Structure 1
């Protein structure tokens, strides 16, 4: 069975970067993993802090996509590792959602995002599903750390 997620109000909504599961990372508190991810596009600039402080993950995403802001030059090289770092910290911080992720066993996890062919599966299922792949990696990291 494949586990699909997208909206925060559906089953497995906690897998979404918009889920309200904040955490501390890089000496700051982040309301969602979306806030952290989008802010990292502008790390070391006032833009990063502006994004960290906005009310909703939707606002953080919108601000992160504004090309009027100076995107860091290495973004394409570092974005997967930044996403992995944020998702891991989110699940390390919250026992309830960590348990939900671990209870998915060895199932494939897919972000059912019709408009996103990189982080999600895209409208036709041909997307890379990088967020789903990262969730599977994080599940394995958490599983191994539970065994120690």
Structure 2
């Protein structure tokens, strides 16, 4: 069964022919990306986020002020004049240990401190946020279910991330993700695996949470468990 590959920038201006990697339809695969803008936000530490990526990056830091700052990021043009979405800007900050980058984004406090044991809880936090995304956004849940049983793979050759997705090492070294070949992809594909688990859950139990509601007691309990694992309460 042919896999569905997704990933890359979420602004359609970066894909003028309407397709992304491997000729996949841009609009159809955007829904799978953590960068996808949400009609109804995901919640982390009682802060609403307009994308999973922003919430995930915010979860890396203890300071609640950082979460609020990241949740309010706006689209900004890059040096080439192409738009960087709030989610893309959040990802950049999440990978930056340079105060200069944070100041350029509008942050005026000391450089945020990342959780020391982040790697131990990042997968469970990602799964919680992705699950919220589809529970709170029925249109997205329907699109995820329409992928059927096809394998879902985040194609991350463009930024060399074989943990959350899969990469073609040769295309990665050449810095040309469009030259990647499916048969050469390598990686753990944790995001794709999370999406497939959530898809299975949705198939047996459609979303019941009203998009406008705050987290239920169960959801809040799960969030507090993840915070406890990260030693950030």
TM-score, normalising length from structure 2? 0.59
In 2: Cα distance, 1:53 partner to 1:136 partner: 30
Which residue in 2 is equivalent to 1:118? 163
After TM superposition, give the deviation of residue 28 of structure 1 in Å. Answer: 1.8
1:37-95 deviation per Cα after TM superposition (whole angstroms, max 9, x unaligned): 00000034432222222121111111111225311022001100111111111111111
The verdict on how the C-alpha distance between 1:134 and 1:60 changes in structure 2, with shifts beyond 3 A counting, is: same
Which residue in 2 is equivalent to 1:79? 122
Equivalent residues, number: 148
What secondary structure sits across from 2:194 in the alignment? helix
1:19 to 2:36 alignment: yes
- Give runs of ≥4 in structure 1 deviating > 2 Å: 43-49
Which residue in 1 is equivalent to 2:50? 31
Which residue in 2 is equivalent to 1:132? 192
After TM superposition, give the deviation of residue 97 of structure 1 in Å. Answer: 1.2
8 Å Cα contact 1:41/1:48 also seen in 2: no
The verdict on how the C-alpha distance between 1:116 and 1:96 changes in structure 2, with shifts beyond 3 A counting, is: same
The verdict on how the C-alpha distance between 1:59 and 1:95 changes in structure 2, with shifts beyond 3 A counting, is: same
8 Å Cα contact 1:109/1:136 also seen in 2: yes
After TM superposition, give the deviation of residue 122 of structure 1 in Å. Answer: 1.5
Larger radius of gyration: 2
1:92 to 2:135 alignment: yes
Single out whichever of 66-75 and 85-94 deviates more from structure 2. 66-75
In 2: Cα distance, 1:3 partner to 1:54 partner: 30
Structure 1 unpaired stretches of 5+: none
User: How do residues 96-111 of structure 1 correspond to structure 2 at under 5 angstroms?
Assistant: 96-111=139-154
